[in-house]
A and B are shown apart, each in its own frame.
Chain A
Amino acid sequence: MGTSTKNRQPVELLTTKAVVRAVTDAFKKLNPRHMAKNPVMFVVEVGSAFTSFLYIHAIITGRADAPPGFILAVSLCLWFTVLFANFAEAVAEGRGRAQTETLRKARKDIIAKRLKSPCPDIKRVAEHYAAYTEIFEKVASSILHAGDRVLVLAGDIIPADGEIEEGVASVDESAITGESAPVIRESGGDRSAVTGGTRVLSDWLLVRIATNPGETFLDRMIAMVEGAKRQKTPNEIALDILLAGLTIVFLLATATVLPYTLYAVASSGHGVPVPLTVLVALLVCLIPTTIGGLLSAIGIAGINRMMQANVLATSGRAVEAAGDVDVLLLDKTGTITLGNRQATAFFPAPGVSEAELADAAQLSSLADETPEGRSIVLLAKSKHDLADRDIQSLGAVFVPFTAQTRMSGVDFEGRCIRKGATDAIAKFVEAKGGTLSLTVRSVVEDIAKKGATPLVVADGARVIGVVQLKDIVKTGIRERFAEMRRIGIRTVMITGENPLTAAAIAAEAGVDDFLAEATPEAKLVMIRDYQQKGHLVAMTGDGTNDAPALAQADVAVAMNTGTQAAKEAANMVDLDSNPTKLLSIVEIGKQMLMTRGALTTFSIANDIAKYFAIIPAAFVVTYPELADLNVMQLHSPTTAVLSAVIFNALIIMALIPLALRGIPYRAAPASALLQHNILVYGLGGLVLPFPCIKLIDLVLTAIGVN
């Protein structure tokens, strides 16, 4: 396989320029209309504004229920909480933007040659372009619409995504894939799609533009990363509801404290009601600001990670669904096995030595440039030390493979060496008066049973043996499948081969199931069948005939080399066109959900410590006895409340890298993952704030706050 799986260089986390932009964005995002999308942070913003108002009110009127300096300090902490959350989102967007930037640059300022009217002889026009300029108009790529036809000559950049109508050309797609080797693109078949921003190196193409301005895959990707059009995914919405619910509960729990303390003061005749500033601080500490502030950053980071893996997703929903997938449909060729069969063994006929067979087989393959032929030469060389010989110097004549003869070989020194399918060779030797012995036939059958392909070699009328050609399962793929099984994902191999061959390869690769003699219809039926049973199915595809199955699958990854139809039907495109990528896609999806869950748990678990910090401080003015609950021995009510709100703001900042990177993923059963994550993020979230708040309190005390 020529395609590489190397990832695009990860964008540096923070450059100075990126930080400046993110900080600016963080302030811009204070716009209440933007904040309202995030109920948790909106409440914090309202709290910030309210405490600011309390401070101004205190300064102007000189009346306040708490010292103005304290009110100001709390207010500032709350503003910073909002800003830190906005900053997290802005940083995530910035990284996404940087990643899309390179892709976007590729498509700027391209002048396309658009056909004014249909042209009957485009070949002639393309070859003598200078003479026909009047039938084209030059337009900017940004205004091309679906259905427009443009001519792209050697050296031109393809202005937009489209389908080749006519022509064959080599195309440099390195701008998109990072792979420098040029690829061939031609009309018809499964290699007819071209991507905007790639460059035609030789020949010419007539391209029918497939998308309208702003609707290309890349445009959708950019829109998804950059705020405005970002839509919440179903799971994000559900989590938002939970967070909003908790926010309302805590709003009530804190708001009702005021009447409770009013009653306490009235009935006991001493003390004062809890200050409003403290109530707002308590509220902000209790509502899940950590996850609320980082939620959108986590989502964007998930899409960014997809991009880093050179996968373009059309929606966050698809990224999320990738985590849920429990059935993977994998094409045999290219995904599970290397693209081609290779010779793996020689089986000589009775009375023939293996070396003799190897020699004949190598001779017949010397001029055979197919991968199978090359592999026979190599096998002979490695097993019997037969050096690669030059067919010309031997004076041999190469007989190429044709569909009629279904064999190939060489004629030299009066010998006619042929290799080919069993029945073809049988016919060949019978014509020369020989026969295919029963022994050889049984060898052939044995090889077929093992799922390999037998290639019979004959020298004139004499059959000298069989070469075994086998699909080579990719190294490491078996382990990947075992990993998938460990996390509860079923792998299904799809192949057009007969059930016997398919079964053998399936067993060797370690997939859970296989679909042999697969047709596009059979694939579609299989996907529907799995979905009916409640499974979520992911698949890859590249051909137009894959489109219905891709459209039906829950996660559908189209290869970038595939047809436009396949890309349209899919919800992700793999720029590397590496079908094995599906496994990474699943991992990225899972990692995003896990990060969300872990930070939610962490956020809620944090509340206990904050209660212990604020409750005694808040109520001590009403009931001095509650000072006993000050288990952390915080210096004073002022430092206690400030420590809690400062911690609450800083923890968002501290977790930004985790939110962007995602929590470490490992392939393990759900129960093991749960145990690990609860221990780290649940228990950790419960314990960590205690020392942190205490530390902040010590610092505040040291700098003279009391």
Chain B
Amino acid sequence: MTANALLQMVAYFVFLVALAVPLGGYMARVYTHEAGVAQRGLGAVERCLYRLCGIRADEEMTWKRYAFSVLLFNAVGILAVYGLQRLQHFLPLNPVGLGAVSPEVSFNTAVSFASNTNWQAYAGETTLSYLTQMIGLTVQNFVSAATGMAVLVALIRGWTRRTTEGLGSFWVDLTRSTLYILLPLSLVLAIALVSQGVVQTLDPQATVSLLDPWATDAGEIITEQTIARGPAASQVAIKQLGTNGGGFYNVNSAHPLENPTPLSNFLQLLSILLIPAALCFTFGTLVKDKRQGWAIFAAMMLIFVPMTVLTVVAEQSGTPLLSSLGLHENMEGKEVRFGIVNSALWATATTAASNGSVNAMHDSFTPLGGMIPMVLMQLGEIVFGGVGSGLYGMLIYAIMAVFIAGLMVGRTPEYLGKKIEAFEMKMASLVILLPASAVLLGTAIACVLPAGTAPLGNPGIHGFSEILYAFSSGANNNGSAFGGLTVNGTFYSIGIGLCMLVGRYWVIIPVLAIAGSLAKKKTIPISVGTLPTHTPLFVLLLVATIILVGALTFIPALALGPVVEHLTLSNR
């Protein structure tokens, strides 16, 4: 790895921590209703919203009611986005007159945005109207992120409360997440991005004359270019902050109008991990033991940093094939204005967080460089992960680690004073089991059905990696695409749509069930007999648990994809 690479990475992490720590503290105050200035400024809006919707601000929901509210809200969101796409040609703000989107792609897109996946079976600028993008997708970008944060806060309340059924109100958590956290941050980021040249307009596409006209193979002279425009900056801001990742343009943040400069790239890169990282500190503050938050953050970094280094090294080393051409680095599929380090850093950040936006094509990475993003998703999107969802997934792994380690100290395992018993283990197993099953089974079905193999861009080993990547991305709600696979057909639209549903809601329900069960328990006082969960040893144990479970589940599949591809390439 070059000094340049090291410098860029260190700068990135320093900025990340410097911003995440104070933001984490602020978010904790949002959830404990002590948000100071923001609350004085926006409190009236909040109260007004509650009055409009008939919400009682002090309502306490049981976990079942909380889960029901989450599901209801998301179901309505899915229906709305589906409807907008199917009817967009009748609706305003469609200056180009785009037609209705097909039912399966509409289903896929609706689920994709409600589940915070933002898998794109559609091509943004040529499929969706401004209205669909703005009140369909952008709204979901906000509320799907806020849903994740609300579920996380409910889970944390499982630890902070004792002998109660109440986990707080979903509606209040949802509103406060959006109003006090996501909206202000997006506003700031959108303005910063506009300053860098990201477009923000409701005008239709622009037509410009080419300075240098050129001739096609058929002899036709091309003198004009049509440039797609639209309200991009506002959507890009929340796409990154809310770990959504659905680009305004089809090529996402590789597009010069979505991510024009190195500074816009750096800001977007920071905002990918900002909230997921900050939530670790929110967690620490809320459970009144900041060390716990740092421990979780450390565990995430301990997986993330080596993965990033591996990707950078893999891409900088290139392949024997490239070497034989006199090229030593793999620049295929990368923007020259970003280069290898920023592309590799983005690839790991976007897959570590369940963001999924890209600034380079992962399909063109070296086999090992492409495997790392895949692995990060297969770990369950818990290394930073989605906004809220990443941390609640991580806390489930912490429960797993505590269970095994806790026994080794001779006590019934407990985490943050709450006993981990059969019910928690049952739910935690579901959380880990279901997304992994969806990936493995989805890939298996795609492998044997012609509908699964036909849309492959590259048959053979790489094709297998493409399928595996697609299902890993969908079932873990990442949304990034390897590319090379045509996914707007019926099989992949429906198949990945179902995986996204499983990966999101069949995790949220057991997580809330755990929250409910924990809140009902007594808090066990801490003594020297208690397993400490803030020590480096526990952090290592947590990382080992994650890697081991992830590795054991996916090693066979990875061996038949990127690993064998790598060996084939290097043996050539």
Which residue on B lies nearest to A605, using beta carbons? Answer: B548
Q: A248-B433, A253-B557, A619-B559 are in contact. Are A665 and B400 (CB under 8 A)?
A: no
Contact: B556 with A670, CB < 8 Å?
no
Contact: B412 with A235, CB < 8 Å?
yes
Q: In the complex, A239 Cα to B412 Cα: how many Å?
A: 11
Contact: A263 with B410, CB < 8 Å?
no
| Residue of B407, B538, B567 contacting most chain A CB atoms (<10 Å) | B407
Q: In the complex, A143 Cα to B204 Cα: how many Å?
A: 95
Contact: A593 with B407, CB < 8 Å?
yes
Contact: A674 with B432, CB < 8 Å?
no
B420, CB-defined interface residue at 8 Å: yes
Residues of B contacting A282 with CB < 8 Å?
556
Q: A257-B556, A534-B417, A678-B541 are in contact. Are A670 and B422 (CB under 8 A)?
A: no
14 additional contacts (CB under 8 A) given A326-B524, A600-B404: A238-B422, A248-B437, A250-B552, A257-B557, A266-B453, A267-B461, A286-B552, A489-B527, A535-B525, A589-B410, A597-B404, A625-B564, A674-B408, A678-B537
Encode contact with B along A245-289: 1 for CB under 8 Å, 0 otherwise: 110111011111111111110111000000000000010001000
Smallest Cβ distance from B406 to chain A, in angstroms? 7
Residues of B contacting A682 with CB < 8 Å?
541, 544
Listed by A's residue number, 14 A-B pairs whose Cβ atoms lie within 8 Å are A242-B404, A249-B553, A253-B557, A268-B460, A286-B552, A323-B410, A326-B527, A591-B410, A625-B567, A625-B568, A670-B528, A673-B409, A674-B405, A674-B541
Q: In the complex, A286 Cα to B555 Cα: how many Å?
A: 12
A681, CB-defined interface residue at 8 Å: yes
Q: Which of B234-242, B317-325, B342-350, B438-446 contacts A (4 or more CB under 8 A)?
A: B438-446
Contact: A238 with B421, CB < 8 Å?
yes
Q: A237-B422, A259-B444, A677-B408 are in contact. Are A626 and B528 (CB under 8 A)?
A: no
Contact: B410 with A673, CB < 8 Å?
yes
Q: In the complex, A252 Cα to B411 Cα: how many Å?
A: 32
Smallest Cβ distance from B533 to chain A, in angstroms? 10
| Residue of B420, B532, B563 contacting most chain A CB atoms (<10 Å) | B563
Contact: B560 with A594, CB < 8 Å?
no
A496, CB-defined interface residue at 8 Å: no
Residues of B contacting A601 with CB < 8 Å?
404-405, 408
Q: A268-B460, A671-B537 are in contact. Are A678 and B407 (CB under 8 A)?
A: no
| Residue of A254, A260, A261, A268 contacting most chain B CB atoms (<10 Å) | A260
Partner of B444, one of A260, A490, A535, A623: A260
Which residue on B lies nearest to A245, using beta carbons? Answer: B429
B523, CB-defined interface residue at 8 Å: yes
Q: In the complex, A261 Cα to B464 Cα: how many Å?
A: 10
Smallest Cβ distance from B460 to chain A, in angstroms? 5
Q: In the complex, A259 Cα to B446 Cα: how many Å?
A: 9
A364, CB-defined interface residue at 8 Å: no
10 pairs of A and B residues whose beta carbons are closest in the complex: A488-B529, A597-B407, A590-B410, A245-B429, A488-B527, A597-B408, A263-B447, A625-B567, A256-B444, A259-B444
Q: A252-B436, A535-B525 are in contact. Are A594 and B564 (CB under 8 A)?
A: no
Contact: A629 with B559, CB < 8 Å?
yes
Q: In the complex, A259 Cα to B444 Cα: how many Å?
A: 5
Contact: A238 with B403, CB < 8 Å?
yes
Contact: B559 with A238, CB < 8 Å?
no
Contact: B552 with A489, CB < 8 Å?
no
Residues of A contacting B251 with CB < 8 Å?
none
Encode contact with B along A207-246: 1 for CB under 8 Å, 0 otherwise: 0000000000000000000000000001101110110111
Residues of B contacting A485 with CB < 8 Å?
528
Contact: A267 with B407, CB < 8 Å?
no
Q: A249-B433, A604-B548 are in contact. Are A678 and B417 (CB under 8 A)?
A: no
Which residue on A lies nearest to B548, using beta carbons? Answer: A604
Residues of A contacting B404 with CB < 8 Å?
242, 597, 600-601, 604
A459, CB-defined interface residue at 8 Å: no
Q: In the complex, A682 Cα to B405 Cα: how many Å?
A: 10
Contact: B560 with A622, CB < 8 Å?
yes
A324, CB-defined interface residue at 8 Å: yes
Contact: A671 with B535, CB < 8 Å?
yes
Contact: A673 with B553, CB < 8 Å?
no
Q: In the complex, A596 Cα to B529 Cα: how many Å?
A: 17
Smallest Cβ distance from B410 to chain A, in angstroms? 3
Partner of B447, one of A238, A259, A670: A259
Q: In the complex, A282 Cα to B537 Cα: how many Å?
A: 31
Q: In the complex, A673 Cα to B571 Cα: how many Å?
A: 47
Q: In the complex, A705 Cα to B436 Cα: how many Å?
A: 37
Q: In the complex, A681 Cα to B564 Cα: how many Å?
A: 32
Contact: B436 with A249, CB < 8 Å?
yes
Q: In the complex, A323 Cα to B404 Cα: how many Å?
A: 15
Residues of B contacting A249 with CB < 8 Å?
432-433, 436-437, 549, 552-553
Number of A-B contacts (CB under 8 A): 228
Q: In the complex, A597 Cα to B430 Cα: how many Å?
A: 21
Residues of A contacting B522 with CB < 8 Å?
531-534
Residues of A contacting B538 with CB < 8 Å?
674
Q: A256-B444, A264-B461 are in contact. Are A615 and B453 (CB under 8 A)?
A: no
Residues of A contacting B422 with CB < 8 Å?
234, 237-238, 241
Residues of B contacting A623 with CB < 8 Å?
461, 560, 564, 567-568
Residues of A contacting B436 with CB < 8 Å?
249, 252
Contact: B453 with A263, CB < 8 Å?
yes
A320, CB-defined interface residue at 8 Å: yes
Residues of A contacting B409 with CB < 8 Å?
594, 597, 670, 673-674, 677
Contact: B563 with A629, CB < 8 Å?
yes
Q: In the complex, A249 Cα to B552 Cα: how many Å?
A: 9
B7, CB-defined interface residue at 8 Å: no
A611, CB-defined interface residue at 8 Å: yes
Q: A254-B556, A590-B410, A626-B559 are in contact. Are A675 and B525 (CB under 8 A)?
A: no
Contact: A256 with B410, CB < 8 Å?
no
B530, CB-defined interface residue at 8 Å: yes
Contact: B532 with A670, CB < 8 Å?
yes
B31, CB-defined interface residue at 8 Å: no
Q: Name B320-337 residues within 8 Å CB distance of A.
A: none
Residues of B contacting A591 with CB < 8 Å?
410
Q: Name B485-510 residues within 8 Å CB distance of A.
A: none
Contact: A593 with B405, CB < 8 Å?
no
Residues of A contacting B553 with CB < 8 Å?
249-250, 252-253
B266, CB-defined interface residue at 8 Å: no
Residues of A contacting B421 with CB < 8 Å?
234-235, 238
Q: A238-B425, A267-B463, A534-B524 are in contact. Are A260 and B408 (CB under 8 A)?
A: no
| Residue of A246, A594, A674 contacting most chain B CB atoms (<10 Å) | A674
Partner of A626, one of B432, B552, B564: B564
Q: In the complex, A256 Cα to B252 Cα: how many Å?
A: 33
A607, CB-defined interface residue at 8 Å: yes
Which residue on B lies nearest to A683, using beta carbons? Answer: B544
Residues of A contacting B441 with CB < 8 Å?
252, 256
Q: A487-B528, A535-B525 are in contact. Are A242 and B556 (CB under 8 A)?
A: no
Smallest Cβ distance from A605 to chain B, in angstroms? 8
Q: In the complex, A497 Cα to B560 Cα: how many Å?
A: 75
Q: In the complex, A615 Cα to B559 Cα: how many Å?
A: 8
Q: In the complex, A535 Cα to B414 Cα: how many Å?
A: 13
Smallest Cβ distance from A530 to chain B, in angstroms? 9
Contact: B412 with A256, CB < 8 Å?
no
A598, CB-defined interface residue at 8 Å: yes
A134, CB-defined interface residue at 8 Å: no
Residues of B contacting A244 with CB < 8 Å?
429
Contact: B433 with A590, CB < 8 Å?
no
Smallest Cβ distance from A679 to chain B, in angstroms? 10
A21, CB-defined interface residue at 8 Å: no
Q: A267-B459, A486-B528 are in contact. Are A259 and B448 (CB under 8 A)?
A: yes
Q: In the complex, A509 Cα to B404 Cα: how many Å?
A: 36
Q: In the complex, A286 Cα to B425 Cα: how many Å?
A: 20
Residues of B contacting A237 with CB < 8 Å?
422
Contact: A252 with B528, CB < 8 Å?
no
B531, CB-defined interface residue at 8 Å: yes
Contact: B411 with A626, CB < 8 Å?
no
